[in-house]
Amino acid sequence: MTARPNVVEHPAVENAADHCTTLEVARWLGMAVRSVQLMVDRGELQAWKTPGGHRRISRSSVERWLASHHSGTTVPTPSTPTPTRTVLLIEDSAHCQHLVSLLVREQFPDVELHVADDGIAGLAMAGELQPAVLIVDILLPGIDGATLLTSLRTHPQFSRSQLIVLTSLDEVQRAPYAFALAGVPVVHKPRLVAELPPLLSERLARATNVPPALAR
């Protein structure tokens, strides 16, 4: 299927000052996010997709739309953009990936969720993305979970990222990993829907407000 001309692949040169997220445009215009998405679909706003599949909207196209719809009146100016927060999920279960994606999309619309299927790829992505929050399954193919957690907690490269551990192991089964889990919040997968959203909210707030040296 040919992409609509108003939603194109990401530009070769992408200046952050020249584009907004869908949420930022919605706040700027005082609209719902869905309304902004429909404006893009109708060709009223120009947008493209990042390599990660996230939509970016041209700031100049928003300004043109405002100018054409506020003739003779004061055109509102955007507030300071809310930084897009990045969360990385390192998890090999497709079911768990899907569930976390749904929760993030519904409850944290300003969060960009990235997913790694294994620990090695996850470490590489964490180094590249520097996510606000890392959600990690302690049982992953290709790497020892305790070793992964220890690396994430002690390496300076990951000092700005908050940690959350997901696991299907109960408290007794987690005993061999106690040294790696000390001080790290743990979500038991059977209670993921109830426990992850409030914990993720708290970790995102800490990532925003707490100096890196105090992040753990």
CA atoms within 13 A of residue 62's CA, in its CB half-sphere = 25
Under CATH, what is the fold of the domain 85-214? Answer: Rossmann fold (3.40.50)
Alpha carbon of residue 153 to chain centroid: 20
Cβ neighbours for 188, distance < 8 A, ≥ 6 positions apart:
167, 168, 169, 170, 195
Beta-carbon count within 10 A of 111 CB: 18
pLDDT value, residue 48: 85
Tell me the domain boundaries of the chain: 7-69, 85-214
pLDDT value, residue 190: 92
Under CATH, what is the fold of the domain 7-69? Answer: Multidrug-efflux Transporter Regulator; Chain: A; Domain 2 (1.10.1660)
CA dihedral 198, 212, 111, 152 (to 10 degrees): -80
- What does the pLDDT look like over 152-190, one tens digit per residue? 777 777 778 899 999 998 889 988 888 888 888 999 999
Low-confidence residues of the chain: pLDDT under 70: 1-17, 51-52, 70-84, 208-216
Domains 7-69 and 85-214 share a fold: no
φ, ψ of residue 147 to 5 degrees: the values are: -65, -45
pLDDT value, residue 12: 46
pLDDT value, residue 180: 85
